[in-house]
Amino acid sequence: MKSHYRVVVIGGGIVGTSVLYHLAKAGWTDIALIERAELTAGSTWHAAAGFHAINDDPNIAALQTYTIKLYEEIEAESGQSVGMHMPGGYSLATTPERWEWLKSEFCVYQTLGIDARLASPEQIVADCPIVDPKGLLGGLFDPHEGAVDPHGTTHAFAISARKRGAEVILRNRVTALEPLPDGHWRVITEQGPVIAEHVVNAGGLWARRVGLMAGVNLPLTPMQHHYLVTEDLPELLAMNEEMPCVTDLEGFTYLQQERKGVLLGVYERNPKHWHTEGAPWDYGMDLIPEEIDRIAPELTIGFSRFPTLERAGIRRWVNGAFTFTPDGNPLVGPVPGLRNFWAACGCMGGFSQGGAIGRVLASWMVEGDPGTDIFGMDVARYGSFASNDEYLREMTAQFYSRRFIIAYPNEELWAGRPLKTTPAYDAQAALGARFGVVHGMETPQYFASGDPAFEEKPSLRRSNADRFVAAEVAATRNAAGLLDTGVYARYEVSGPGARSWLDGLLASRLPSPGRLRLAPMLNPRGRLMGDLSVTCLSPDRYWIVGSYYLQTWHLRWFNDHLPSSGVRIDNLSESWLGFSLSGPRSREILARLTNEDVSNAALPFMGCRVMDVGSTQALVARLSLTGELGYEINVPAAQQRVLWGSLLEAGRDLGIAPIGMRAQDSLRLEKGYGVWSLEFSSSVSPFACGLDRFIDFDKGEFIGREAALRERELPPTQRLVLLAIDSPEADVTGHEPVRRGDRRVGYVTSGAYGHHVRQSLALAYLDVDALEADAPLGVDVIGTSRPARWLREPPYDPAATLLRS
Ligand SMILES: Cc1cc2nc3c(=O)[nH]c(=O)nc-3n(C[C@H](O)[C@H](O)[C@H](O)COP(=O)(O)OP(=O)(O)OC[C@H]3O[C@@H](n4cnc5c(N)ncnc54)[C@H](O)[C@@H]3O)c2cc1C
């Protein structure tokens, strides 16, 4: 071991070795992996090591595809077999709902470029003779499913990394981490101290403990997981080919061939945590005693789907632990609040994702950018609230137990809730609010007004709650809607350097005092980092408003670019709240609560003012996402409850209605407005999504200007457009393919029913040449192609006169 390395990777599991390999491949060779025991000594050695390309998040699906393709490469480079088997795999449908869901997933996979196919029960049984076809309706076959040898694969990464100059140091526990004033780390190990410019936490089962050494409590925890391996089965002995893997979604089990027997794994509905704080330091390569009684209900279903198992001998039981995060995705990237400390942990699918985590992290460390939109696995997608033990336990148990359960688009899950509520929460609940959750914050989805006993049914089709949403849309279009904006993040930027700093950070021109602007923020690749609004309160005081759930992510970006003096940024997201009041009567309502002149001349579109509103003192900005005349009214959190009551009271005789996010979605789609994470993301070019019109190339330097200028010369190949879909009973939710004839010409980003225009609507990225041809389009809605057409202008108020009225 040397005294100094550019990077020390802590942990020699599948993830740590992949990080080491990718760093070495990217040219950083003064690097070392330090491992407490032997390579694979955490979760890795006893993993079932199955892999698949499929993931709900298309960006993660693409990265999983990368991981799978990499196996051949590292086997060749290292000369070490990875024990690759890729017979493909079936997901079974044994209920009509599941079959419908699989058919709709099949369409989404086409968007993701995964060449899956639907299969009949006969086909499944022909390929997998141990499957009992009773009640089987069909299945989805993914050709990229299989398994590797966890030991061989980990060593293949390590050998390849060593060949490129990296060091692997075994039997040497890291016992402490000390930050140094220059941003480097003193890494204390059993074999002595070492200085590292960067530290990567790939500590797997111990990653929470390793994080705490650096002063950060990461939201991850180990949980137990069982599988069994059988003796040889006669059906498999009779087969020449390897049998495809099988996941019995309604049975909570997955199965893969192992030699001439099978490995059957269980995602039980009664899961169990294991050392929430991280594995004990003296935990060896041991198994946890199996708890067969706890998994018996799922095993019973598993044995009835695969009856031959009842007669099979069990060669071994495995009960091991691996780590889960609240949403089941890993924690990757620079840890907010720390310098040069990187996360590569919380990974429950090391053999689908380990390769990609290594590539993304190495790109981030070497190039300063992960290279693609990885928000779904970014360590900064969580705030510190997510590391609370109780929250973590509830969320991870919910994720684990629902691993194979259908996730309906209109379904709200209840783990870890309520955690954060705005002061108006109880008053909203009393009016029938049904809440969703964003980054821990309860936020009304709709108000079941006048029907306290109403129960929403989870469905792929239009929800039975739509009558409430329709009424909220009507109220907004005809009178006024009042939406809680607790889902906004608010930041104040102040100081003598505030204006010039913001000018370099944001791609838009900055507003003058009393005005606001929509402000795209770019990264050096010219891709979006935010669709913010910036408000100028005075020449050295600004507000930035963005998405509440992005606050840790955005603050990391802001702080990374903050100069050492002259600018201060305060996160007001928990201390300021407010409402969006919009609709034709909204000015009248506001005027009833203030002595200020709120006429169009005095407070025009994109104007802002600090004013009294009822008994509160508010920052009022004139804009809306509904397409109506509207105001965003922001107040200190303690005044939000009073403001809620004042606004409702003032608008009562004018027809005001409290509205939720579902109505907002319907309203924004009628205007064709995109939102972050659906239409806009860090993999999207501002020219493709239309945000380029807010970029001011003439103002001088700003982050991403050069890349955006280059991109301006190349017309985008796809464009964000609004579609009308003829679909009588369901709307699209995202990622569905759009076709022209047989050709896939794009994909949907979001959809909703436009209750005012009475039309199913979707935003979609479409190939530009498909638009030029102006031919009829088709969109897959729950697996069935529906006619669609491009709307050249939004169906509601295309000239945007109401917004400016
Ligand atoms: C029963 C079971 C079945 C599974 N099945 C699958 C499957 O089919 N497919 C799949 O993709 N995944 C599966 N997994 C999950 C998979 O094993 C994990 O996703 C993966 O192993 C995580 O790898 P890792 O490198 O992040 O962590 P780990 O394998 O836990 O490695 C972390 C390493 O860090 C070292 N370390 C920790 N702290 C220190 C320190 N302070 N100093 C030095 N070294 C340290 C540890 O000794 C360990 O070697 C399964 C896991 C189990 C237990």
Confidence of residue 173 (pLDDT cuts 50, 70, 90): very high
Nearest alpha carbon to residue 130 among 277, 3, 244: 244
DSSP string across 438-468: ETTEEEEEEE-TT-TT--PPP-SSS-TTHHH
Confidence of residue 113 (pLDDT cuts 50, 70, 90): confident
Rounded to an integer, what distance in angstroms lies between the CA atom of residue 480 and that of residue 587?
9
Ligand 1 atom with least separation from CA of 349: 11
Distance between Cα 351 and ligand 1 center (Å):
10
pLDDT(417) > 80:
yes
**Are 464 and 456 spatial neighbours (Cβ–Cβ below 8 Å)?**
yes
Tens digits of residue pLDDT in 331-340: 999 999 999 9
Those residues with Cβ within 8 angstroms of residue 426's Cβ, 6 or more apart along the chain or in another chain: none
pLDDT at 37: 97
pLDDT at 114: 85
Rounded to an integer, what distance in angstroms lies between the CA atom of residue 186 and that of residue 4?
9
Those residues with Cβ within 8 angstroms of residue 801's Cβ, 6 or more apart along the chain or in another chain: none
Rounded to an integer, what distance in angstroms lies between the CA atom of residue 444 and that of residue 803?
24
Question: What residue's CA is closest to ligand 1, atom 50?
Answer: 47
Radius of gyration of the chain (CA): 27
- The count of C-alpha atoms lying within 13 angstroms of the C-alpha of 301, restricted to the half-sphere facing its C-beta, is 19
Q: Interhelix angle for 150-163 vs 14-25, to 10°?
A: 30
Q: What is the mean pLDDT of residues 739-746?
A: 93
Tens digits of residue pLDDT in 118-172: 999 999 999 999 999 999 999 999 999 999 999 999 999 999 999 999 999 999 9
User: Whats the size of the chain, residue-wise?
Assistant: 805
Those residues with Cβ within 8 angstroms of residue 316's Cβ, 6 or more apart along the chain or in another chain: 228, 229
Ligand 1 atom with least separation from CA of 227: 1
DSSP state of 728: S
Rounded to an integer, what distance in angstroms lies between the CA atom of residue 743 and that of residue 420?
46
Ligand 1 atom with least separation from CA of 11: 34
Ligand 1 atom with least separation from CA of 321: 53
Those residues with Cβ within 8 angstroms of residue 381's Cβ, 6 or more apart along the chain or in another chain: 375, 549, 552, 553
Rounded to an integer, what distance in angstroms lies between the CA atom of residue 780 and that of residue 771?
18
Helix (H) and strand (E) counts for the chain?
Answer: 20, 37
Rounded to an integer, what distance in angstroms lies between the CA atom of residue 107 and that of residue 737?
7
**In the chain, what are the helix, strand and coil shares in percent, each to the nearest 5?**
30, 30, 40
Q: How many CB atoms lie within 10 A of CB 285?
A: 13
Ligand 1 atom with least separation from CA of 346: 26
pLDDT at 774: 72
Rounded to an integer, what distance in angstroms lies between the CA atom of residue 10 and that of residue 667?
49
Locate 209 and state its tokens: 């403990």
Question: What residue's CA is closest to ligand 1, atom 41?
Answer: 174
Rounded to an integer, what distance in angstroms lies between the CA atom of residue 777 and that of residue 224?
48
Confidence of residue 771 (pLDDT cuts 50, 70, 90): confident
Which residues does residue 316 pair with via DSSP β-bridges, in sequence order?
229
Q: What is the mean pLDDT of the chain?
A: 96
Pair type for strands 4-10 and 31-34: parallel
The torsion defined by the Cα of 764, 768, 772 and 773, in degrees rounded to 10, comes to -80
Rounded to an integer, what distance in angstroms lies between the CA atom of residue 567 and that of residue 498?
5
Distance between Cα 13 and ligand 1 center (Å):
5
Distance between Cα 431 and ligand 1 center (Å):
48
pLDDT at 57: 82
Distance between Cα 148 and ligand 1 center (Å):
14
Best mutation site among 10, 17, 34, 44 for ligand 1 pocket (most ligand atoms within 8 Å of CB): 44
Angle at 671 between CA 669 and CA 673, to 5 degrees: 65
Taking CB atoms and a 6 Å cutoff, what residues make up the pocket around ligand 1? 10-16, 34-37, 41-44, 46-51, 173-174, 202-206, 210, 225, 227, 318, 320-322, 345, 347-352
Rounded to an integer, what distance in angstroms lies between the CA atom of residue 527 and that of residue 525?
5
Locate 109 and state its tokens: 């996979």
Confidence of residue 775 (pLDDT cuts 50, 70, 90): confident
Which residues does residue 542 pair with via DSSP β-bridges, in sequence order?
493, 536
Distance between Cα 695 and ligand 1 center (Å):
45
Nearest alpha carbon to residue 766 among 784, 792, 785, 786: 792
Distance between Cα 278 and ligand 1 center (Å):
12
DSSP string across 147-174: E--HHHHHHHHHHHHHHTT-EEE-S--E
Q: What is the pTM of this model?
A: 0.97
Rounded to an integer, what distance in angstroms lies between the CA atom of residue 465 and that of residue 587?
29
Those residues with Cβ within 8 angstroms of residue 240's Cβ, 6 or more apart along the chain or in another chain: none
**Are 158 and 80 spatial neighbours (Cβ–Cβ below 8 Å)?**
no
Tens digits of residue pLDDT in 19-53: 999 999 999 999 999 999 999 999 999 999 999 98
Q: What is the mean pLDDT of residues 287-301?
A: 95
Confidence of residue 60 (pLDDT cuts 50, 70, 90): confident
**Are 627 and 681 spatial neighbours (Cβ–Cβ below 8 Å)?**
no
Best mutation site among 322, 324, 341 for ligand 1 pocket (most ligand atoms within 8 Å of CB): 322
Tens digits of residue pLDDT in 556-594: 999 999 999 999 999 999 999 999 999 999 999 999 999
